[in-house]
Structure 1
Amino acid sequence: MKLRSALCASAALSALLAAPAFAQDQAAGETVEGEEIIVTAVARGQNRIESSVSVSAIGAEAIANLAAPSAADLIRQIPGIRSEASGGEGNANIAVRGIPVSTGGGRYVQLQEDGLPILEFGDIVFGNADNFLRADRSVARVEAVRGGSASTFASNAPGAVINFISKTGETEGGAIQASVGLDYESYRLDFDYGAPLAEALYFHVGGFYRTGEGPRDIGYNGYDGGQIKANITKEFDGGYIRFSAKYLDDTTPTILPQPVRVTGSAGNPDYSGIAGFDPRTDSLYSPFLTPARTLDGNNNPASYDFRDGLSVKSMAFGIESEIDVGSGWTLTNRFRFADNSGGFMSPFPAGVDSAQAVANAIGGAGSSIVFATGPNAGQVANAANIGGNGLLTNVINFNVRLNSLDNVTNDFRVNKEFDFGGGSANFTTGFYLSRQTVDTDWLWTSHVQTVQGDGQAVLVDIRNAGGQLVTDGGTVAYSANFFGNCCRRSYDVDYSTYAPFASLSVQTGQLTLDASIRYDFGDASGTIAGSDTGFGTGIRSFDFDGNGVINPAEASTAIIPAARPVNYNFDYFSFSLGANYLVTDDLGIFARYSQGGRHTADRSLFSPAVSTVDGGLPGGDTGVIARVDQLETGLKYQSGGVALYATGFFAKTNENNIELPNRVFNNEYEAYGVELEGSYRSGPFSLSAGATWTDAEIKDTDPGRAAVIGNTPRRQADFVYQATAQYEADMFTLGANVVGTTESFTQDNNDLILPAYAQVNAFLAFRPIERIELGLNATNLFNAEGYTEAEEGSIPANGLVRARSIAGRTVLASVRFDF
């Protein structure tokens, strides 16, 4: 009740507060490189070269030219950020500067819209923040602050804050754009429009709708949905108030690791597609995967459609206001409530092998295979050539109901500018609070299916040597049988976060010194249930078909046992110290040391950190807090059409984490490296590029994993890079973009390698007459193979690995009408 009252008061305060909205309005147009006013994770908007943080920005024009398939693909353009954008529209793994992706999601990165987090935690299991983020024409620019003040101007984000800033419509204009896939099925309509309604009153509205099969051949319309965003701003003497709203309803496939053949040696592997299955263009989704039956979160029978994939809904409302109260004092408040829900439905291959080996493992020696779905349903299959390659895969259906990921957030700040010792000073203090609900049901089931592309995969049944069925319509068990029947879970936990913070910046001549602190504290309360907790059995029998006979699959039905409480408090302290010196008007040097933390939230619920008796923290809150220390120093140069930013960094990370199906670990990591970003513009030609070199190491871990100490963390490449070259004339724009990485290890044992790859994208826009533009965008132009992760740490005896690949080449044509 305390938090609810505080948030209601915060919303009212936003409505009452009202200094001109210079920061975000300025972002609505293109600005000169290096002269952007940065508003993300800083006390007040400031010029990039004068700040002592590493920050990058992507403007609206670049966003339109790149036409990135997802927000995670767009984030790949930011130096220092490693975005594994291979899963589709959501579920991406995002890391920064050697801070590890030890499990999934963006643990140390906060994704924001207009200065507030989309979700409080970036790695909610199956509920990553990017699931609820779409980068469309409503976005004016994307700002990313790496390290530094991200620790003190945001909670749970010591690695980076990536802020998607919306257009506001202060200047009249808009566009409507229709696009169609030329070599894949995609039909999309984008629009945006903003304009003044009266003096000091303006609005903006934008969004998209799309449908189609998408970039992978799945055999049905996997992409269906869109979003609409709107805001309206009223300015008056000394202030403004802005109301905003967003409605997102979208369904997309979410791509998990797929079967891949690997030959050669672990140190020099050759990854290739399996006959009839190309991991760039195929997936295990298919219209022949019949609805998955299971028991729901209340142990009642239910059925769920594989074709729902990653389905998300978000309805959000926000109020932002600022007022200059005189004498240099400014009050700012941002409030947003988001009603978030959806589902995560995707087949995960628990194992891949020859069809006969899979059948024998399920039904015993001499088992046979019968098609359970598809055009040959009921017929006996030839194990040697089933699916065109003689393979079957045991699949765990990651069926997770995202009942509620509601998020309520408020950020209140007081800022004072004043003279100090012949220079100037800026003082900011404030209070942040949020309430993040994590209410999910994990309803996993086990199936067996063919490894076929082009949307042709089918489920199969297994008969034992005596001819009896041991599966049920392709279902091996109504549980996670291939994972030891783990992970039947249901939990409903609310996480409250409170954070007073303060910063002081002093500028004397060409030197700027700043310091900031933040104290995060809060609590977790709710209930959690699951067979993993040790309360009751997790398996029973259930007659799904109602015939009075329990078949082997029905005899292995997972249930959710009695719930137990979650009830604990936590706190941690963060600080950041920085200095920036302007050597000349064009050259600045800076240094910064920061320490930040991250509450691990739902990632700790099924670990020893949380008591199975009373939901407390028997070992104290160190078990639920990860810590990051960072040191960075660098230079910033800009003159005319040239800009160069170089940062050397060191990061130390201590964390507790849990990896599915149920492995708990405690790791310490260290990383150092260099981050480079530059741009050059001469007349119609421009070039921008970024690269990050990282040397990362596992410094310590649990006794049972001591062999990995000294190894490189999994999937951490030495070198990642991106570059965009563009030529723009009156009638056309032509450009190319490349994103690449050197090789990395699939797992911490440092045996099997993920090969280096480079993905080239290209764009062409032709403007035959005023206000009409014809566009052509190619993603992965040369159809490169690129693997972002693999489950195996070594090549297995059968040479079959489960790996996630970037999507193959897609070409999109569009026509846009500007008005």
Structure 2
Amino acid sequence: MTNLHFKLSTLAISLAVAGLCTGVVAAEAPNVQVAKTQEPKKAKEYIEQIVVTGTASGKSMKKVDASYAITTIDAESIERLAPKSTADLFKAVPGVWAESSGGVSGANVFVRGFPGGGDAPFLTVQLQGVPVYQPSTLSFLENSSLFRIDETVQFMDALRGGPSSVVSAGQPGLTTNFILKEGSDATEGRFKYSTSDYGLQRVDAVVSGSLAEDLYFMAGGYAQESSGIRDAGFNSEKGQQFTVNITKVLDNGKLNLFTRVTDDHGAWYLPTPLVAGVDNSYTQVGPLNRQATIEFGPNGESKAIDIGDGRGWKGAISGGSLDLDFDGGWSLVDRFAYTSGDANTLGLVPNGSPVALSTVADNGVSAIGAVSQKTYGGDTLVQQLGRWAVLKNIEALTNDLAMTKKSDSYQATLGLYRSDYSVKDWWSIGNQAYYLVQAGGEALTGIDCNDNKDSCDWNYDISAVGDGKTSAFYGAFEYTFSDQWSADIGLRNENHQIDYTVDEGLDGVINKSVDYDQTDLSWTAGINWQFSDNAGVFLRASEGSKMPSFDDFRDNYDAYTKGENLIKDVTQYELGYKLALDNLNLYATGFFNEVKGDTFVRKPGDPAEVLTNEAYGLELDAAYFNDSGFSINMNGTLQSTEITESPINKGNEAQRQPKWQIRLTPSYDFEVAGLDSTLYGTLSAVGDRYGNNENTVVLDGYEKLDIGLIVRTDGGLKFELGMQNVTDEDALTEGDPRSADAANGRYIMPRTTTFNVSYDF
């Protein structure tokens, strides 16, 4: 597959240079034009945005006509939200709880009360309508880690539930679809420089235009580095990305080719000790401990690692689409993508609570710094940290073909989805040693655990390889009864095959082998009543599944060998209301869901807890505008969760998900000294959560305030100053997921100030 990716990437770039094509999405997204001034949106224009996600045909439609819950966030809104990672943007989506406190990669994302202990098992990230990787989550890898936001993004759709169990990858939870900017007849672009109070140096650039008649291009990317939002004492966040998007407008449609090459990583922020002197600016990794030598395997082999590399993505996603219309109401949309690269994880992972040095020192009195040679007394706090190394190589080739027949009263679609994917894993996790509890604290000598590997707690070393094939045949039918009433139904028959082998212990012996072949049926049905030009109601039911992937078999190998299929069954019901007035729009969606067969494993080797979860709640997505330049956006979620089946936690609430959350984003456009200006902010408030399924660890609710100011000149210059977490709130997003009893937690990001200047031409 590597040769194929090289050919696809080379083809896309060559076409751009040669002037044979330029980028477009399969759906009919409007051409992007970088405006020299930003006019306030009217509410009705906002709600009538084009959405391209959730349609079986692959064609675009107006958001106001959609009979499912979907949120669209455009490039201007993304810029104001100033997400520090891709998952950070998902906080603006109702029904979603995103923990983006781990850094640029490695978020935890929860959807509508669905169960989960970490990562993002019910999230699929798409680029140009194609999943970046078929499995939504592998251990130490979730979809958002494979995507970086930059100036080449035009907008993002976020689809919750609804028809998602039938279309694309069949994700029953959340599907986020990032659409790239595309060219037009006018040559235009943007150059942008960004800096911050944590040493950020970043340059973004994007340019688009016409190469020939009906032939367009967009190209752009970024290069950046910093010591990290939590200062590591070295450039712990650095990387670059380059994207080319090419579009050829045909007589009866469009052809699109794109490639996106990324090499970007950042320090992996982990739960920190909850003791005096440690706050939300603390990070374990630093110059005194970033380099380490780990031992692994039965013969004590060693490997030097740089923990400062943290988590990241070094790879490429290339693909495209063909969108054709034929006589008689027929159309064809084919979307495809190839993903390959490395998504490695290296970090210092806490193993238990901090303790006094005297309790672990060989002499019971003191120990010596491994680097500084300084002697530390017995009352010094130390903590056992694991030097974890997870090396992961992935590949995926995905194609989604849909043929549609449309008439005045109905639309019928038949589709064929196929994804072939693989993973190669090498892990050495454990490798415990005691370190000082201070930012970048060094390891110590004179402690048996540090000087003798075999005396420490545990190590889990594996080499694993896996191949998967997901094939699905889907169909959808929509019928319009009148101007007010329409209904639709969809079916998906999915076959899922996994071949997977694991060498636990790195001793050359395969002790887990999987040959899995299972088929499952999903469906969705909806009714839409547009009872006036400004308002409507929809009702939807769906049943989908999350098919098991590689790590599900490793963690639940005994269940697999006993014949259990490990499929997570998801049933959902939605009732939605939509309103569009001249200065107000509102989406309100009530939901109920049940997830059967979820498994939770705290750490490798622990027994799995098999769960059934139920949740119900209300999602709100609203915006208000007036002629004076004031606007305010609001999204909120109110939900109740319950573990209805569990051997030990029946009746408890789902872990790590708040009962309520709300985000208010006001904005005011005004003129000062002849310059167009915008003052904006975001106030986020979150309720209490439980840190574990046992509901014994309470994570307190919190409020967070972000503010910003934009000033524009007539010449295309724009200046933006922003401050995130103005009050420096030090709330926790999670406790210690590997030990509920350990006094550790992961903080939200500390206060930061950013500044950028851009030039649009």
TM exceeding 0.5: yes
- Alignment counterpart, residue 153 of structure 1, candidates 137, 151, 167: 167
SS state at 1:351 partner:
coil
Where do 5+ consecutive residues of structure 2 fail to align?
none
Q: Given the superposition, is the C-alpha separation of residues 71 and 46 from structure 1 closer, same or farther in structure 2, using an over 3 Å criterion? A: same
CA offsets per residue over residues 322-344 of structure 1, 9 Å max, x none? 11122111111111111121320
Match in the other structure for 2:341: 340
Instruction: Name the CA distance, whole Å, in 2 between partners of 1:410 and 1:211.
Output: 35
- Alignment counterpart, residue 748 of structure 1, candidates 679, 689, 693: 693
Is 1:817 aligned to residue 752 of structure 2?
A: no
Instruction: Name the CA distance, whole Å, in 2 between partners of 1:578 and 1:755.
Output: 38
Conservation of the 8 A alpha-carbon contact between 1:515 and 1:576: yes
Match in the other structure for 1:461: 445
Conservation of the 8 A alpha-carbon contact between 1:80 and 1:96: yes
Instruction: Name the CA distance, whole Å, in 2 between partners of 1:19 and 1:769.
Output: 29
- Alignment counterpart, residue 446 of structure 1, candidates 416, 423, 432: 432
CA offsets per residue over residues 737-795 of structure 1, 9 Å max, x none? 12221011111122221011121111111124421111101111111122111027999
Instruction: Name the CA distance, whole Å, in 2 between partners of 1:775 and 1:497.
Output: 45
Report the alpha carbon displacement of residue 285 of structure 1 after superposing the two structures with TM: 0.6
Match in the other structure for 1:691: 636
C-alpha RMSD of the superposition: 2.7
Is 1:211 aligned to residue 153 of structure 2?
A: no
- Alignment counterpart, residue 381 of structure 2, candidates 391, 407, 412: 391
Is 1:521 aligned to residue 464 of structure 2?
A: no
Is 1:804 aligned to residue 733 of structure 2?
A: no
SS state at 1:649 partner:
strand
More off after superposition, 736-745 vs 41-50: 41-50
Match in the other structure for 1:579: 527
Q: Given the superposition, is the C-alpha separation of residues 564 and 107 from structure 1 closer, same or farther in structure 2, using an over 3 Å criterion? A: closer
Instruction: Name the CA distance, whole Å, in 2 between partners of 1:817 and 1:357.
Output: 59
SS state at 1:622 partner:
coil
One-letter code aligned to 2:663? Q
One-letter code aligned to 1:175? R
Is 1:719 aligned to residue 660 of structure 2?
A: yes
Instruction: Name the CA distance, whole Å, in 2 between partners of 1:560 and 1:755.
Output: 47
Instruction: Name the CA distance, whole Å, in 2 between partners of 1:65 and 1:809.
Output: 16
CA offsets per residue over residues 516-556 of structure 1, 9 Å max, x none? 1111112111321114xxxxxx7xxxxxxxxxxxxxxxxxx
Q: Given the superposition, is the C-alpha separation of residues 357 and 574 from structure 1 closer, same or farther in structure 2, using an over 3 Å criterion? A: farther
SS state at 1:717 partner:
coil
CA offsets per residue over residues 709-734 of structure 1, 9 Å max, x none? 11111112110111211112352111
Report the alpha carbon displacement of residue 582 of structure 1 after superposing the two structures with TM: 0.5
Is 1:91 aligned to residue 92 of structure 2?
A: no
- Map 1:119-198 onto structure 2 (within 5 A): 119-170=133-184, 172-181=187-196, 183-198=197-212
Instruction: Name the CA distance, whole Å, in 2 between partners of 1:204 and 1:106.
Output: 31
Match in the other structure for 2:377: 382
Aligned length: 727
Match in the other structure for 2:46: 33
Report the alpha carbon displacement of residue 656 of structure 1 after superposing the two structures with TM: 3.5
Report the alpha carbon displacement of residue 400 of structure 1 after superposing the two structures with TM: 0.4
Is 1:50 aligned to residue 65 of structure 2?
A: yes
Match in the other structure for 1:548: none
Conservation of the 8 A alpha-carbon contact between 2:23 and 2:218: no
Report the alpha carbon displacement of residue 224 of structure 1 after superposing the two structures with TM: 1.2
Instruction: Name the CA distance, whole Å, in 1 between partners of 2:666 and 2:571.
Output: 35
CA offsets per residue over residues 459-481 of structure 1, 9 Å max, x none? 11235xxxxxx35xx465279x4
Report the alpha carbon displacement of residue 599 of structure 1 after superposing the two structures with TM: 1.5
One-letter code aligned to 1:645? Y
Instruction: Name the CA distance, whole Å, in 1 between partners of 2:546 and 2:141.
Output: 17
Is 1:431 aligned to residue 416 of structure 2?
A: yes
Report the alpha carbon displacement of residue 22 of structure 1 after superposing the two structures with TM: 8.0
Match in the other structure for 2:370: 372
Q: Given the superposition, is the C-alpha separation of residues 20 and 342 from structure 1 closer, same or farther in structure 2, using an over 3 Å criterion? A: closer
Conservation of the 8 A alpha-carbon contact between 1:751 and 1:794: no
Conservation of the 8 A alpha-carbon contact between 1:581 and 1:588: yes
Q: Given the superposition, is the C-alpha separation of residues 157 and 752 from structure 1 closer, same or farther in structure 2, using an over 3 Å criterion? A: same
Conservation of the 8 A alpha-carbon contact between 1:143 and 1:163: yes
Match in the other structure for 1:266: none
Report the alpha carbon displacement of residue 620 of structure 1 after superposing the two structures with TM: 3.6
Is 1:632 aligned to residue 574 of structure 2?
A: yes
Conservation of the 8 A alpha-carbon contact between 1:431 and 1:500: yes
Normalized against structure 1, the TM-score is what?
Answer: 0.85
Instruction: Name the CA distance, whole Å, in 1 between partners of 2:298 and 2:712.
Output: 58
SS state at 1:318 partner:
strand
One-letter code aligned to 1:787? L
Match in the other structure for 2:461: 488
Instruction: Name the CA distance, whole Å, in 2 between partners of 1:138 and 1:781.
Output: 29
Is 1:618 aligned to residue 561 of structure 2?
A: yes
Match in the other structure for 1:552: none
Q: Given the superposition, is the C-alpha separation of residues 490 and 156 from structure 1 closer, same or farther in structure 2, using an over 3 Å criterion? A: farther
Report the alpha carbon displacement of residue 626 of structure 1 after superposing the two structures with TM: 0.8
Identity of aligned pairs, percent? 27
Q: Given the superposition, is the C-alpha separation of residues 252 and 24 from structure 1 closer, same or farther in structure 2, using an over 3 Å criterion? A: farther
Instruction: Name the CA distance, whole Å, in 2 between partners of 1:774 and 1:757.
Output: 31
Conservation of the 8 A alpha-carbon contact between 1:417 and 1:427: yes
Q: Given the superposition, is the C-alpha separation of residues 569 and 36 from structure 1 closer, same or farther in structure 2, using an over 3 Å criterion? A: same
One-letter code aligned to 2:369? F
Match in the other structure for 1:264: none
Instruction: Name the CA distance, whole Å, in 2 between partners of 1:494 and 1:677.
Output: 40
One-letter code aligned to 1:333? D
Is 1:405 aligned to residue 400 of structure 2?
A: no
One-letter code aligned to 1:662? G
Where do 5+ consecutive residues of structure 1 fail to align?
262-273, 385-389, 464-469, 532-537, 539-558, 612-616
- Map 1:753-764 onto structure 2 (within 5 A): 753-764=698-709
Q: Given the superposition, is the C-alpha separation of residues 516 and 192 from structure 1 closer, same or farther in structure 2, using an over 3 Å criterion? A: same
Conservation of the 8 A alpha-carbon contact between 2:26 and 2:333: no
CA offsets per residue over residues 247-299 of structure 1, 9 Å max, x none? 100121111111113xxxxxxxxxxxx22x32x11111111115322357897
- Alignment counterpart, residue 585 of structure 2, candidates 633, 637, 643: 643
Instruction: Name the CA distance, whole Å, in 2 between partners of 1:309 and 1:20.
Output: 34
Instruction: Name the CA distance, whole Å, in 2 between partners of 1:221 and 1:323.
Output: 47
SS state at 1:393 partner:
strand
Instruction: Name the CA distance, whole Å, in 2 between partners of 1:27 and 1:120.
Output: 29
Report the alpha carbon displacement of residue 564 of structure 1 after superposing the two structures with TM: 4.4
Match in the other structure for 2:597: 655
Instruction: Name the CA distance, whole Å, in 2 between partners of 1:37 and 1:297.
Output: 54
Conservation of the 8 A alpha-carbon contact between 1:66 and 1:777: no
Is 1:530 aligned to residue 497 of structure 2?
A: no
SS state at 1:76 partner:
helix
Instruction: Name the CA distance, whole Å, in 1 between partners of 2:745 and 2:147.
Output: 25
SS state at 2:326 partner:
strand
SS state at 2:87 partner:
helix
Report the alpha carbon displacement of residue 146 of structure 1 after superposing the two structures with TM: 0.6
One-letter code aligned to 2:664? A
Instruction: Name the CA distance, whole Å, in 2 between partners of 1:673 and 1:213.
Output: 40
One-letter code aligned to 1:477? K
Conservation of the 8 A alpha-carbon contact between 1:202 and 1:232: yes
Match in the other structure for 1:535: none
- Alignment counterpart, residue 676 of structure 1, candidates 616, 620, 624: 620
Instruction: Name the CA distance, whole Å, in 2 between partners of 1:19 and 1:332.
Output: 15
One-letter code aligned to 2:376? A
Is 1:477 aligned to residue 453 of structure 2?
A: yes
Instruction: Name the CA distance, whole Å, in 1 between partners of 2:131 and 2:651.
Output: 35
One-letter code aligned to 1:661? P
Normalized against structure 2, the TM-score is what?
Answer: 0.91
Q: Given the superposition, is the C-alpha separation of residues 677 and 382 from structure 1 closer, same or farther in structure 2, using an over 3 Å criterion? A: same
